[in-house]
Amino acid sequence: MNKGTGVLQSVERAMRVLDHIAAAPGPVQAKQVAAALGLTLPTTYHLLTTLVTGGYLVHLTDERAYALGHRVDDLARGLHRQIEASPEVQRVASVIHREAQAAAYYAALRDAEMIVAHVVECALHPRIQPLAIGFHQAPHATAFGKLMLAQLPADDRETLLEHTGTPAVTPATVTDRDLLARQLRQVRGTGLAVEVDEFQAGLSCMAAPVTDAAGRFVGAVAVSMPTTRLRADRWSVERAVRLGAVRATRAVALTTAARTGRITPP
């Protein structure tokens, strides 16, 4: 265990190995893992064997390499079950999709991360490709991520940004911390987050906050569309998103109350 951190070094190393192989375009040899992560070859083999035994990796004998195993897919399905939006919130997302004529999303707050929990799209209004269920990266460059950053206390926000960084996802991404801070103040003031070409060139997103019965920020509804359309239909889109946030807030309250046995939703 690393002193003062509570982190088991062997577990931390195994997760680094798993992350490295998951990010690779294909199977990875043990010596490549060792070189990339700065580990000795014997240690690397011990970690790889442990992950293979657990089903998180498979050893491809003919290629003398390692790839992801079936347990990773099991974990992904488990994550989807745990973050799945309630039927009521899913219905709200469908209404937003129809009214805004755009791909619609519900992102849930989970431990200082905004994670996409539901997506409604169609052939005419497809989602932004990386924004699938489970997506949680680049909070500084997404509309629902900016909502979360705007809600966090300043110290917590800076700690998070030190961890995630503010890389340029596109040439339009706001990477300067002072400029981002001004943008987040505007988000807090308007109760609406908009990113224009920051996450994907030519596409923009708009998001509004969802709260629970106690008024605590718990998630966001959002839409994405071509930037030209957002500029042309800004006010009708904003109306659909804001109204959707009100409906989703009501749905969250009803779902929570039903879960605790206080009321039965209609």
The CA distances from residue 75 to 66, 78, 82, in Å, are 19, 5, 11
pLDDT at position 45:
92
- Catalogue the long-range contacts made by 120-129 (C-beta closer than 8 Å, 24 or more residues apart): 120/90, 120/93, 120/94, 120/96, 121/97, 122/97, 125/97, 125/101, 125/225, 127/103, 127/224, 128/103, 128/199, 128/200, 128/203, 128/205, 128/224
Q: Which residues contact 33 (CB under 8 A, 6 or more apart)?
A: 17, 20, 21, 39, 44, 48, 66
CA distance 104 to 96: 6
Please give the average pLDDT of every successive group of 10 residues along the chain, which has 266 residues: 61 90 92 94 93 92 91 80 84 96 95 91 93 91 96 92 94 96 96 97 97 92 97 96 96 74 49
Token couple for 182: 């001004």
Residue type, 62: D
As a whole number of angstroms, the distance between CA 211 and CA 241 comes to 14
CATH, domain 9-70, list 1.10.287.3510, 2.40.110.10, 1.10.10.10, 3.40.50.180: 1.10.10.10
Nearest one of 20, 88, 101 to 251, comparing CA atoms: 88
Report the candidate in 187, 186, 184, 227 with the shortest Cα–Cα distance to residue 205. Answer: 227
Domain 84-259 falls under CATH 3.30.450.40: yes
Specify the pairing of strand 193-200 against strand 57-60.
unpaired
Q: Where are the domains of the chain?
A: 9-70, 84-259
Q: For the chain, what is the total number of helices (H) and then of strands (E)?
A: 10, 7
